[in-house]
Amino acid sequence: MSAETHFDLSSLRRAYADGTLTPVQLVEEALRRADDPKFPHVWIEKLGREQLFALAKALPPKPTPELPLYGVPFAIKDNIDLAGIKTTVGCPAFAYTPEKSASVVAKLIAAGALPIGKTNLDQFATGLVGTRSPFGICQSAFDAKYISGGSSSGSAVAVASGMVTFALGTDTAGSGRVPAAFNNIVGLKPTKGLLSTSGVFPACRSLDCVSIFAGSCHDAQAILGVAAGFDAADAYSRSRPKTAPGIPANFKFGILPPAQREFFGDAEAAELYEQAIGQLRAIGGEAVEFDYAPFAQAAALLYAGPWVAERRWALGDYFEKHGDAMHPVVREIIGNAKKYDAVATFDAQYKLQALAQIVAPIWDKVDVLLLPTAGTTYRIEELLADPIKLNSNLGYYTNFVNLLDLAALALPAGFRKANGLPFGITLIGRAFADEALLQLGAKYHQAIGGQIGVTKNAIVAQPLPSTKTNHILLAVVGAHLRDQPLNHQLTSRKAEFIRQTRTAPCYQLFALANTQPPKPGLKRVPEKLVQGIEVEVWSLDEAAFGSFVAEIPPPLGIGTLELEDGTSVKGFLCEPIGLDGARDITEFGGWRAFRASLAK
Write the CA distances from 291 to 174, 257, 372, 395, integer angstroms.
21, 7, 15, 18
For residue 570, give the 3-state DSSP assignment. Answer: strand
Which of 10, 46, 77, 189 is the catalytic position?
77
77 is catalytic: yes
- Which of these is catalytic: 10, 103, 151, 211? 151
3-state secondary structure 331-371: HHHHHHHHHCCHHHHHHHHHHHHHHHHHHHHHHHCCCEEEE
Quote the CA–CA distance of 143 and 336 in Å, as a whole number: 33
Residue 196's Cα: distance from chain center in Å?
16
Pair type for strands 568-574 and 186-189: unpaired
Answer whether the bond into residue 98 is a cis peptide, omega within 30°: no
Residue 107 to residue 234: CA distance in whole angstroms = 15
Contact between 154 and 121 under an 8 Å Cβ cutoff? The reply is yes
- Find, among 590, 523, 589, the residue nearest to 556 by Cα: 523
Task: Please tell me the distance from the alpha carbon of residue 593 to that of residue 600, in angstroms, as a whole number.
Answer: 11
Specify whether the CB–CB gap between 510 and 523 falls below 8 A.
yes
Please confirm, yes or no, whether 151 is among the known catalytic residues.
yes
492 belongs to the catalytic site: no
- Residue type for position 260: Q
- Which are the contacts of 433, defined by CB distance < 8 A and separation ≥ 6? 191, 244, 245, 246, 247, 368, 407
Q: Cα(499)–Cα(520) distance, rounded to whole angstroms?
A: 20
- Which residues are CB-contacts of 354 (< 8 A; sequence separation ≥ 6)? none
Amino acid letter, 26: L
CB 297 within 8 A of CB 329: no
The backbone region for 449, taken as left when phi is positive above 0, alpha when psi lies in -120 to 50, beta otherwise, is left
Q: From the DSSP assignment, how many helices (H) and strands (E) are in the chain?
A: 20, 19
Torsion of CA 59, 63, 68, 72, to 10 degrees: 60
CA distances for 541 relative to 73, 282, 506, 545, angstroms: 33, 30, 28, 6
Q: Which of 133, 175, 211, 237 is catalytic?
A: 175
CB 239 within 8 A of CB 273: no
517: cis peptide before it, omega within 30°?
Answer: yes
Residue 520 pairs in a beta bridge with 511
Q: 353 exposed, middle or buried (CB, 10 Å; 0-12, 13-18, 19+)?
A: exposed
Is the CB of residue 390 less than 8 Å from the CB of residue 383? yes
DSSP strands (E only) in 217-289? 252-255, 286-289
- Give the active site residues: 77, 151, 175
